Amino acid sequence: MFAVLGIILLVAGAIITFAVEREADGVDLETLGWILMAGGALSLLISLFVGASWWSTRNARVHSERVADPASGAYVEDTQVSGRP
């Protein structure tokens, strides 16, 4: 979702900055375009971090086993994480 937003903001900002030749009263269109492109780049950066964290935890598998020792009555828990690079 952030990636699509980032691409839309980048494209809109580039169009406003480089392709629009009109003037608007009280609004600097070139600055507005650069702000939109900066927001798009930030959105793409956020989507990169979110996607990287999702990808790294997607392949991890956790297996926990809890066993009671009949002699002492204590519990022993063994946890194994597999699938991570």
Q: Where are the domains of the chain?
A: 2-80
Q: Is the pLDDT of residue 6 over 80?
A: yes
Q: Which of 53, 81, 48, 77 is nearest to 65 (CA)?
A: 77
- C-alpha 84/C-alpha 38 separation (Å) is 34
Q: What is the pLDDT of residue 59?
A: 64
Res. 8: pLDDT tops 60? yes
Q: Which residues of 28-41 are buried (b: 16+ CB within 10 A; e: fewer)?
A: eeeebbeebbebbe
Q: What is the pLDDT of residue 75?
A: 81
Residue 55 pLDDT greater than 80, yes or no: no
Between 52 and 38, whose confidence is greater? 38
12, 36 in Cβ contact below 8 A? yes
Cα(49)–Cα(3) distance, integer angstroms: 11
Record the pTM.
0.63
Residue 82, phi-psi category: left (phi > 0), alpha (psi -120 to 50), beta (remainder)? beta
